[in-house]
Amino acid sequence: MFVYSFRASSLKAFATISFALVILVALILTVPSYGALETNADAVSYSGVKNAQDAAKFLNQFGWKVSGDAVETVELKIPSEFDNVFTEYNEIQKRQGLDLGRYRRKNVTRYTFEVTNYPDATGKVLASVIVHKGNVIAGDLCQNGANGFVVGFDGK
């Protein structure tokens, strides 16, 4: 076993710590935040969703208008193991800064609404908001059929 020791003057120690702090601040300012939403995540609140009306207000933060009450409200359990479909769905969630992997084996509520203002929609567009203990943990906008799609809350 090798033991190294050195004695640094307080000026050298101060200079080393200052240099490390400057590097840390530079990294924080230049590295983009992982999973940040393009829709100004600071302005969107993902908490306080306790019922269907709150879920509709949540969707409104992204500019989506929904027709009336929820089309469907369902209690679900996130599976402990994700199949291919669930893994792909979670990739959509990760792109919008969310991750269902943290909620495996948890009971959640899914509120589904019909979106009335999706641009160039050729059919019915549905929005799902998945909530755990008052916090939005996942969701999407989707359309079935030949021109179907599944996208995040931002519609991209």
In the chain, where are the structural domains located? Answer: 45-151
Say if residue 112's pLDDT is above 60: yes
Q: Is the pLDDT of residue 3 over 80?
A: no
> Which pLDDT score, from 0 to 100, does residue 22 have?
72
Q: Where are the alpha helices (DSSP H) in 31-114?
A: 52-60, 84-95
**pLDDT band of 97, cuts 50, 70, 90:** very high
Q: For CA atoms 79, 85, 89, 95, give the dihedral sign.
A: positive
Band of residue 40 on the pLDDT scale cut at 50, 70, 90: very low
Rounded Cα distance, 8 and 5, in Å: 10
